[in-house]
Chains A and B, each alone.
Chain A
Amino acid sequence: QKEVEQDPGPLSVPEGAIVSLNCTYSNSAFQYFMWYRQYSRKGPELLMYTYSSGNKEDGRFTAQVDKSSKYISLFIRDSQPSDSATYLCAMSVSGNTGKLIFGQGTTLQVKP
């Protein structure tokens, strides 16, 4: 079993839809949770950064962390074609050297 599980998709939605992306994990020691967006042949771009449980909102993006269920989510409201990319969840253990454990990534396509 992988430490971090993420459905690779692809996920296809119409423009304007609400998108829900999810990851589950097995290591209860994870404290820091991140979502990255990666366009084809580019490096990942940090979208959201969350410490411990709770919600965080930034524009059209909302990140949720439920540590009791070992489940994190990223919601994208009013999705746009420019949101079409691969979304990677990542997490790390508090006090670690900084090593991130990544999910496989979910490919999202937003159709105009």
Chain B
Amino acid sequence: GAVVSQHPSRVICKSGTSVKIECRSLDFQATTMFWYRQFPKQSLMLMATSNEGSKATYEQGVEKDKFLINHASLTLSTLTVTSAHPEDSSFYICSASPGGRGNEQFFGPGTRLTVL
């Protein structure tokens, strides 16, 4: 149980294009989903928290107009990196929480984004 999927697992795009990453909780309903970014040999940096049906809460320093988050249902959240640039290249990981048990989070396998 508690499986979270991400798609795509890897994406390479040209500078200026937009990229959408999907995060799905496969066997539970996620009241809250989180988006993280991870640079090589570094820990996870929380970008934003999203609750189904409401606007995402972004962490300080994260541009909400650049990283668009939509949490359309209790099993799906999407992150769109708009007008991507090489500095946006990173490992993006989502997590999902079923709620009710002290903020336990289950992570997806991550998406490797490379912007040329």
A binding-site residues for B, Cβ under 8 Å? 8, 31-32, 34, 36, 41-46, 49, 51, 88, 92, 94, 96-100, 102-105
Would you mind naming 22 contact pairs between A and B with Cβ atoms under 8 Å apart?
A: A32-B102, A32-B104, A42-B110, A43-B4, A43-B6, A43-B110, A49-B104, A92-B102, A94-B102, A96-B103, A97-B49, A98-B34, A98-B97, A98-B99, A98-B103, A99-B34, A99-B46, A100-B46, A100-B103, A102-B44, A103-B43, A105-B42
The reply to whether the CB of B8 lies closer than 8 angstroms to some CB of chain A is no
Interface centre among B43, B105, B109 (most CB of A within 10 A): B43
B binding-site residues for A, Cβ under 8 Å? 2, 4, 6, 32, 34, 41-44, 46, 49, 57, 91, 93, 95, 97, 99, 102-110, 112
Question: Which A residues touch B43, using CB under 8 A?
Answer: 88, 102-105
Q: How far is the CA of A46 from the CA of B32 in the complex (A)?
A: 17
Question: Which B residues touch A31, using CB under 8 A?
Answer: 102
* Closest CB in chain A relative to B108 CB, distance in Å: 5
Question: Which A residues touch B4, using CB under 8 A?
Answer: 43
Given known A-B contacts A41-B110, A44-B93, A100 and B42 have beta carbons under 8 A apart: no
- Which residue of chain B lies nearest to A105 when distances are taken between CB atoms in the complex? B43
Q: How far is the CA of A31 from the CA of B91 in the complex (A)?
A: 29
Interface centre among A31, A94, A96, A102 (most CB of B within 10 A): A102
Given pairs A99-B103, A100-B105, 5 additional interface contacts (CB within 8 A): A32-B104, A36-B107, A42-B109, A97-B32, A98-B103
Complex contact B107–A98 (CB within 8 A)? no
Complex contact B49–A43 (CB within 8 A)? no
Question: Which A residues touch B46, using CB under 8 A?
Answer: 99-100
Q: How far is the CA of A105 from the CA of B40 in the complex (A)?
A: 12
Question: Which A residues touch B34, using CB under 8 A?
Answer: 98-100
Complex contact B6–A92 (CB within 8 A)? no
Given known A-B contacts A88-B43, A104-B42, A46 and B110 have beta carbons under 8 A apart: no
Q: How far is the CA of A41 from the CA of B43 in the complex (A)?
A: 12
Complex contact B108–A43 (CB within 8 A)? yes
